[in-house]
Structure 1
Amino acid sequence: MHLQFQDTLVQAVFLNRLNRFVLECELPTGTKEKVHLPDPGRLKDLLVSGGPIWLQESTDPKRKTKWSAVMTYDPSADIYVSLNTHYPNRLVHEALKQERLEELNEWQLERAEFKVGRSRFDFLLTHKQNDQKLLLEVKSVTMVEDGIGKFPDSVTARGARHVEELTHLQEDGRYQTAVMFIAQRTDLHGITSAPEIDPLFARVMEDADSKGVRFFGRSCMVTPERISLTGPLPVYTKKD
Structure 2
Amino acid sequence: MIEITNISKWYGQFQVLKDCSTRVEKGDVMVICGPSGSGKSTLIKTVNGLEPFQQGHITVDGTAVGAKGTDLPALRARIGMVFQNFELFPHLSVRDNLTLGQIKVLGRSDEEATARGLQYLDRVGLLAQQDKFPSQLSGGQQQRVAIARALAMDPIAMLFDEPTSALDPEMINEVLDVMVGLAQEGMTMMVVTHEMGFARKVANRVVFMDQGSILEDSSKDEFFHAPQTERARDFLARIIH
TM-score (structure 2 length as normaliser): 0.32
Kindly indicate whether structure 1 or structure 2 has the higher relative contact order, using CA contacts under 8 Å at least 6 residues apart.
2
Q: TM-score, normalised by structure 1?
A: 0.33
Which of the pair is proportionally richer in strand?
Answer: 1
